[in-house]
Amino acid sequence: MSVYDEFSLLQENAGEVGLPFDSSTPPRVTRQTVTAPSGNDVSAIVWGGPEPELVLLHGGAQNAHTWDTVALALDTPLVAIDLPGHGHSGWRDDKAYRPQQLAGDVSHTIRELAPKATTLVGMSLGGLTALCTIAEDPSIAERLALIDITPGVNQEKAEPVLSFINGPEVFGSFDEILERTMAYNPTRSRSSLRRGVLHNAIERPDGTWAWRYDLPVGERVDDLEARFDDLWDAVSALRCPALLVQGGLSGVVDEDDVAEFQRRHPDARVVVVEEAGHSVQGDRPLELAQILGTFHEEPAP
């Protein structure tokens, strides 16, 4: 079996987008795990100093490393959390991974690892989880940024994402799992997707490869009720600045979703990243880092 060093690829992340990287003084980055009151272990990557300022939540079937290039570009203390059932976090016994079921574990993890963070960022499933988290505890952050997601998401809009997730769970080789990933992510470079697979899959003793995330028990993702209409009320209840970043090449958020989001939160801002798909952080990490950095640095409300 190959040896996996999760932080050994950061120099490659930086080089691909032209960020400076001094290997003699690499970024201060560690992995930490906390046990939530639910009994679930939640793992996270902690970047920078002792008082993280931002918290980043990835999308479904992803993990905290999806933010690596964004974190390098931000160069700000932050925490990127592996959602339960993803990355290095524990898998839930009940196999329940809806935003409403993840919010409690996420809130506890933020309190433990980033109690003074002011900006909460979530992409896709992580965005809806961030929305639930701040709805349940408005003091958890002063700002909320959602990346290519609203409660208006449904199976039709998310079909390209669900189609990928619903593919094989075990692959005969690393090349096989990489080739399938490339087929579903035409906007990304091979090197970027290779890193992503190394972070998001694991080699088994027999040489096959399997994803590092869990799926709901007895169901494929496309069997799930894919709408989250009840979360629109959480948008209406927001009392903090909100930002919606939309991937210009993605169909997960449409014009009606944007209109409804702004109707329920009139002060919300919407930014479209034209050359990005659903995973804006993967397709246009430097542009997203600039958007998030500006949002984070605005005076507290």
- Residue 203: CB partners within 8 Å, gap ≥ 6? 1, 2, 174, 209
Catalytic residue among 105, 148, 257, 283: 148
Catalytic residue among 58, 88, 278, 296: 278
Contact of 243 with 235, CB cutoff 8 Å: no
Which of 112, 17, 8, 7 is closest to 74 using CA atoms? 17
- Residue 249: CB partners within 8 Å, gap ≥ 6? 187, 274, 275, 276, 277, 283
Contact of 80 with 148, CB cutoff 8 Å: no
For 119, 186, 191, 233, the CA distances from 195, given in Å and listed in that order, are 27, 15, 6, 38
Is 192 catalytic? The answer is no
Contact of 107 with 137, CB cutoff 8 Å: yes
CA angle, 91 as apex, 31 and 83 as ends, to 5°? 50
Is 278 catalytic? The answer is yes
CA distance 168 to 183: 14
Catalytic residue among 43, 89, 107, 124: 124
Is 108 catalytic? The answer is no
Active-site positions read 124, 148, 278
